[in-house]
Amino acid sequence: MAAGQKRNTLVYAQAKKALDQMKYEISKELNIDTSPIQGDYWGHMTARDCGAVGGHMVKRMIEAAERTLSQQAVANVQAGFRAGVASQEGTQNQPNPNLSLNNLDQYY
């Protein structure tokens, strides 16, 4: 693809700087020589090296998304648990010792 043709557009333009930084960090971690890069043009790099960088970028983004989703799921479970405990405390004088947020935190 020629230097002026770019078909991929970012959904969030603010992410470009972070993605570029990630690209260079990953290429450094993979010991890929980035000296042939001129400006932001990676056309002089081998397809193997560019593919490795892109693959590791995708892998890290998926890991970050999974981590965020799991944290949100735990937060939702904890909120529902707290609501259930609060509703039970209003109807009972003694709370159930088996219903403890500490036990839930240790499980997740």
Return the pLDDT at 77: 87
Return the pLDDT at 107: 53
Count structural domains, the chain. Answer: 1
Q: Would 7 be classed as within a structural domain?
A: no
Return the pLDDT at 67: 93
Q: Would 10 be classed as within a structural domain?
A: no
Q: Would 20 be classed as within a structural domain?
A: yes
Q: Would 9 be classed as within a structural domain?
A: no
Return the pLDDT at 68: 93
pTM value? 0.62
Q: Would 57 be classed as within a structural domain?
A: yes
Q: Would 69 be classed as within a structural domain?
A: yes
Q: Would 1 be classed as within a structural domain?
A: no
Q: Which amino acid is at 68?
A: T
Q: How would you write the pLDDT of the chain (108 residues) with one tens digit per residue?
A: 556 666 777 788 888 888 889 999 999 999 998 888 888 888 888 999 999 999 999 999 999 999 999 999 888 888 888 888 777 766 555 556 666 666 665 555
Residues 6+ apart with CB under 8 A from 16: 10
Residues 6+ apart with CB under 8 A from 1: 7, 43
Return the pLDDT at 80: 85
Range of the structural domain that residue 57 is part of:
15-107
Tokens of 39: 């400006």
Q: Would 52 be classed as within a structural domain?
A: yes
**Integer Cα distance of 67 and 71 in angstroms:** 6
